[in-house]
Structure 1
C-alpha cells in the first residue's frame, strides 16, 4: 500500500469512527429520554427500552454508514446533524425488524445472546408469573418491536423540514417493502413445497430483494444522497451499486445461516434449516437435487427437532447438488456488478474507497 493510499484509509477510518460515535451518542440520549418517559408511566415498562437499547448498542452500523457515505457523496458535510439522525433512525428500524424477524423465525438467539422474545420468556419464568411464558415472551417482544419502529419514525421526523421530500419517500418505501418481503418469506415457508421446484430460486430471489437487499444497502445509501440533495442521476447510480450489493450480502447471510461457524455467527449450527427458510440456497438445492434428496429437504426443512445427523445430510445435499457452489457464483456475479457500477459513479476518491471497503466487508464476512 502506498503512503497516499494508507493516508486515505486512515482518514476514512477516523471519519467513520466519528460518525459511528455520533450515532451511538444520539441513540443513547434519545433512548434515555424515552426511558424517563416510560418510567413516569410505570417502572415495569423500562424493560421495553432496555431491550431496544441492548439491541441497538454496537453492531457493524452498515446501514448507517451507507447512509453517511451516500450523504457525503452528494456533497453533505461530514459533521451534519441531519445524517446522524438519519443513521440513528435506520439503526432503530433495523432493531424493530430484528425483533419481529426473530419471533417469526422462532430464533432464540441474536448476536450471541438471547433474542428479545426469549429474554422476556426467561423473565417470566424467573419471576414465576402466571400463564404461559412463551406467549408472554412473544407478546412483549411484538410490543417492543412496535415501540422501536415508532421510535425510528420519530427519530427520522426530528430531522425536520419533512426530512426532504425525496428522502421521506425513500424512508416510507423502505418500511413498506420490508413488511411485504417479510410476508412473502413466511408465505414461501408454508406454500413453497406445493409450488413448482423450478421456480423456487426466482421466488427466493424476490424475497431477498424486498425483505433484505433494498433496506440493507440500497435505501440507506439513496436516503443519505437524497438528504444531501443529490441529483436523480446520482441516486440512480447509487441504486445500481447498492441493490446487487445488498442481494450478495443476503446470499452470504444465507450461506452463513447453514454453513457458518456458530462461534462467529452467534447462532446455533443449522439454525436457518430449523427455521425453515426457503432461501436461494435452498431453492437451488430443490431445483438440482434428485427426487429422493428433494423429498428429504422438503420433509425436514423447518423441523425444530432436526438432529445433527439430519442437518449434516441437508448440508451434504446442498454441496453435492452444487447449490452451495451456485450460490457462491451468484455472490461473485452480483458483487462484480455492484463494484463495476461503483466505479462509474462520479464520487470523490475517499467516498468511493469507503463504499468499496463497506461492500467488500459485506460480501466476504464470516459473521
Structure 2
C-alpha cells in the first residue's frame, strides 16, 4: 500500500533546512567554546551526532508564523532545545540501563569505563549540566521582553510535561504489562511526541508573533504527528535495523517499556502467548532467541499492521490540520515533507 503522503505533491518552494541545521550547529559549537572544565569533552560527545530536527522545527515554526526577517532568536532557541534533548537522552539511557546511543556506548557506560563505580552518577550530573546550559542559551537569545513573556510559559510547560511523562513511564514499567492503550499513548505524548514535534513548533511561532492563531494551528498539526512519531519509535524499537537506529533491536522488550505495540499485544495474546511474553518482556538478560520469539508473537497477532494504521491515521489528521493552518506557504510545504520524514523514518 503506498504511503499516504505520496499523493500530496507541493509546488511551492520550502524553507532551507540545511541552512538552519548549519547555523544551529554553529551556535552550539560556539557556545561550547565558551565553556571549560572536565565535563566539556564528555558533553560535546553527547550532543554530537544529533539530527537537529527539534531545533529545525522551532525555526520552521518561527517562519510559519511570519516571524521577523532575522531568525537569530529562533535559531538560538532551537539550539537550546538540542541541549535539552541531549540532557533527556542521557537520563533516559540511565533509566533504561541502555548500553548504546547513536551506535556508541551510552554516556553512563562510557563514563563507567573511565571511572569505575561512578558512571551512573557522573552521567546524571553531566545531564544536569546540559539542562543548565539549555536555559543559558534561552536566556541569551535576542528576544524582546514581550517575546520572553510569551515564550517562557511554553518552555516551562514543555519541560514540566516531558519530565512528568518520564516519571509516569517509569512507574508504569514497574507495575508490569500495560494494557491500557489510552494511558500508554498519553505518556508517549507527554514524554516524546509533544516535546519532539509540537512544542518546538509552538515555541518558534510564539516567539515570532503576538497572534496566537499560528501557534494554535501548529499545535493541532503537531499533536497527531508527534503521536505518529512515537508510534514509529515503538516499531523501530522492536523491529528496526540496529545498523540504522544505532540501538540494539529488542531493547524496548528487554526494558518492558509501556509502548502501544506492547499494549496491543498484551490485549490480544492468548494464554500461551501471554505466558511467553511475561517470561521474556522486562528481562534485561533476555537472549536473542527469546527476543525473536516475542517478535514473532507480536507479528502473528498482527500488531505491527495495526500500529502502522494508527500512524497513517495520525499522519492524515496532521495533514488535514496543516491544510487549514494560517501559516506561510514555504513553511506549509516544508512541514509536509518533514511530517513524512518523521512518521515514516527508519531511524
In structure 1, what is the Cα distance between the partners aligned to 2:62 and 2:213? 15
Query: Can you list the C-alpha shifts for 1:45-91, whole angstroms capped at 9, x where unaligned?
Result: 2xx22222122234221111111111001112454220111011100
Query: Can you list the C-alpha shifts for 1:294-348, whole angstroms capped at 9, x where unaligned?
Result: 2322232121111121111110111111221111111111111011101111222
TM-score between the two structures when normalised by the length of structure 1: 0.88
Matched, 1:137 2:128: no
Matched, 1:106 2:89: no
1:255 to 206, 228, 235: 235
Residue 164 of structure 1 aligns with which residue?
148
- Report SS of the residue matched to 2:249: coil
In structure 2, what is the Cα distance between the partners aligned to 1:258 and 1:27? 32
1:292 to 272, 277, 282: 272
- Report SS of the residue matched to 1:75: coil
Residue 27 of structure 1 aligns with which residue?
28
Change in CA separation of 1:78 and 1:257 when aligned onto 2, cut-off 3 Å:
farther
In the TM superposition, what are the counterparts of 1:113-132 in structure 2 within 5 Å?
113-124=104-115
2:170 to 182, 186, 192: 186
Matched, 1:220 2:209: no
Q: Kindly indicate whether the alpha-carbon contact (under 8 Å) linking 1:92 and 1:151 is maintained by their aligned counterparts in 2.
A: yes
Residue 54 of structure 2 aligns with which residue?
63
Change in CA separation of 1:206 and 1:5 when aligned onto 2, cut-off 3 Å:
closer
RMSD: 1.8
Q: Kindly indicate whether the alpha-carbon contact (under 8 Å) linking 1:121 and 1:137 is maintained by their aligned counterparts in 2.
A: yes
**How far did residue 185 of structure 1 move?**
0.8
Residue 130 of structure 1 aligns with which residue?
none
Q: Kindly indicate whether the alpha-carbon contact (under 8 Å) linking 1:74 and 1:230 is maintained by their aligned counterparts in 2.
A: no
Residue 247 of structure 2 aligns with which residue?
267
- Report SS of the residue matched to 2:87: helix
In structure 2, what is the Cα distance between the partners aligned to 1:192 and 1:222? 35
Stretches of structure 2 that go unaligned for 5 or more consecutive residues are 1-8
1:318 to 280, 293, 298: 298
Bigger RCO (CA 8 Å, 6+ sep): 2
In structure 2, what is the Cα distance between the partners aligned to 1:264 and 1:322? 24
1:54 to 39, 45, 48: 45
Stretches of structure 1 that go unaligned for 5 or more consecutive residues are 39-44, 125-132
Structure with a larger share of its residues in helix: 1
Q: Kindly indicate whether the alpha-carbon contact (under 8 Å) linking 2:10 and 2:333 is maintained by their aligned counterparts in 1.
A: no
Query: Can you list the C-alpha shifts for 1:89-116, whole angstroms capped at 9, x where unaligned?
Result: 1000000000000000111111111111
In the TM superposition, what are the counterparts of 1:63-82 in structure 2 within 5 Å?
63-77=54-68, 79-82=70-73
Change in CA separation of 1:343 and 1:6 when aligned onto 2, cut-off 3 Å:
closer
Residue 16 of structure 1 aligns with which residue?
17
Q: Kindly indicate whether the alpha-carbon contact (under 8 Å) linking 1:273 and 1:311 is maintained by their aligned counterparts in 2.
A: yes
In structure 1, what is the Cα distance between the partners aligned to 2:250 and 2:45? 25
- Report SS of the residue matched to 1:239: helix
In structure 2, what is the Cα distance between the partners aligned to 1:341 and 1:365? 21
Query: Can you list the C-alpha shifts for 1:257-295, whole angstroms capped at 9, x where unaligned?
Result: 100011111111212111221101000000111122123
In structure 1, what is the Cα distance between the partners aligned to 2:44 and 2:87? 11
15-24 or 165-174, which deviates more: 15-24
**How far did residue 7 of structure 1 move?**
7.9
Q: Kindly indicate whether the alpha-carbon contact (under 8 Å) linking 2:66 and 2:327 is maintained by their aligned counterparts in 1.
A: no
Q: Kindly indicate whether the alpha-carbon contact (under 8 Å) linking 2:55 and 2:79 is maintained by their aligned counterparts in 1.
A: yes
Change in CA separation of 1:246 and 1:5 when aligned onto 2, cut-off 3 Å:
closer
Residue 4 of structure 2 aligns with which residue?
none
Q: Kindly indicate whether the alpha-carbon contact (under 8 Å) linking 1:164 and 1:226 is maintained by their aligned counterparts in 2.
A: no
